[in-house]
Amino acid sequence: MPHKDTLDHLTRLYAASDDPWDHRTSAYEAAKYAATLREIGPGPFREALEIGCGNGTLAARLAPRCSRLTVMDCIPAAAQSARRALADLPQVRVIQGAAPADLPDLRPDLVLLSEVLYFLTPAEIAALGRWLTDRARGPVIAVNWTGPTDEPLNGAQAVALLAHSLGAPDSTDHGDYRIDRFG
């Protein structure tokens, strides 16, 4: 579970708007989503998992590639917004919970961690890495902002911690963000 200050901050952001980072309308976000989906590939994926789904904007683009897609977010308002955004997609299940503590019982053939790793503590990233090592049956894609995060970890540090469990990723630098592919 992210630090209390981080949870409080994210809760306030989602209380003020169901799209606090303009995921639905930002050209930058649209380009990042397109790059992420290119890295993921066309699928099909039998069982995919997105951790930190926010309002579900990226999940809506990923869902057509998946037979089943489980998305989760630890902020109740974000999970509610994702439920609304994804309601017409029967293959998508939205759960409210925090990784790694609330990870569902599944063996995904794709795991997406978009702009979420640096919110976790080093111990949580290690636990997530163990879960992924035991359960993931396909690629793990991590997308991270490359600038300052106002969190104890930045994106590169968070990816390095995950690499302790998953090995070195294939990395692509997109300037303001990076995409790391494990497996």
Rounded Cα distance, 33 and 47, in Å: 20
> Can you give the CATH number for the domain in which 73 is found?
3.40.50.150
Rounded Cα distance, 155 and 148, in Å: 8
Provide the pLDDT for residue 150.
Answer: 86
**What confidence tier does 88 reach under pLDDT thresholds 50, 70, 90?**
very high
pLDDT tens per residue across span 151-182: 899 999 999 999 999 999 999 999 999 999 99
**What confidence tier does 9 reach under pLDDT thresholds 50, 70, 90?**
confident
* Beta carbons within 10 angstroms of residue 144's beta carbon: 23
Provide the pLDDT for residue 12.
Answer: 83
Is pTM beyond 0.75? Reply is yes
- Residue 21 pLDDT exceeds 80: no
What total of structural domains would you count in the chain?
A: 1
Provide the pLDDT for residue 23.
Answer: 83
Provide the pLDDT for residue 13.
Answer: 74
Percent of the chain with pLDDT over 90: 85
Provide the pLDDT for residue 143.
Answer: 98
- Residue 1 pLDDT exceeds 70: no
Q: Residue 118: which domain range? A: 4-182
pLDDT tens per residue across span 52-78: 999 999 999 999 999 999 999 999 999
- What long-range pairs does 2-5 form, CB within 8 A, spacing at least 24? 2/74, 2/98, 2/119, 2/120, 2/121, 3/121, 3/151, 3/152
- Residue 129 pLDDT exceeds 80: yes
